[in-house]
Amino acid sequence: MRAAAESLLLRGLRPESLPRHVAVVMDGNSRWARARGMPPAFGHEAGRRALLETVRLSRAWGIRALTAFAFSHENWSRPKTEVDFLMGLFERVIRDSVAEFSRDGTCLRVIGDCSRLPASLQRTARDAEEATRNNSQLDLTLAISYSGRRDIVQACRSLAQKVRDELLRPEDIDESLFAGELETSRGSELPCPDLLIRTSGEMRLSNFLLWQSAYSELFFTDTLWPDFGEADYLEALCSYQSRDRRFGRRNS
């Protein structure tokens, strides 16, 4: 991956100022396939390759964490044939990547409403999480059956239960405590995303990391996810480094 690292310098990027955590809404697989006269499954397979390349680039560039929106809670309303294909694809991607993740230091986590996932996918995800739990080169989170609103609701319910059980007083609840109950925080100390990328020309978050992205820099590209590659990723990083992140403060 030396060539990937060198590409940062060629684009004038400062390695020390790269985002620690990148989140990506991987959108456009079906449109990519449709433009080629192919079924959605063809686009999802191409999207798989784009994801794995993005993982490798992130690791090579020293980005600490990558969170990928693979399947939203709302996506369950898609045709059953497409949903079944995607569940099988996720299982295959996770199973086939464990050896590489273990070798290259990638720690994998799966978040979302896992109770709705097929039992075999749940087992595969648990096994992969256990196999990679001590890796520290890159934290990779796959959001499957994930909803930002649902994540906030379950955090509220968890805190309410602790208050009811007298483990916590309402006045003790602050932003830090609340954030610790979100699915993205469990078993990890990841920072909130510094950069959130959405492909395919759509300009919305689509219920992804609603709390966590409060101060994320947003980057939208017309590129469809299967076509998202190194040049597109570098463009997003260049845009990120050109911005003045003030977090509500005014520079003196």
Which positions are catalytic? 27
Tally the C-alpha atoms within 13 A of residue 26's C-alpha that lie toward its C-beta. Answer: 29
- What whole-number distance in Å separates Cα of residue 153 and Cα of residue 149? 6
Give the span between the Cα atoms of 227 and 223, in whole angstroms: 6
How many beta carbons lie within 10 A of that of residue 105, not counting itself? 13
DSSP-assigned letter for residue 226: G
Residues 120-129 as b/e (b if ≥16 CB within 10 A, e otherwise) read ebeebbeebb
Q: How many CA atoms lie within 13 A of 122 on its CB side?
A: 9
Q: Is 101 exposed, middle or buried (0-12, 13-18, 19+ CB in 10 A)?
A: buried
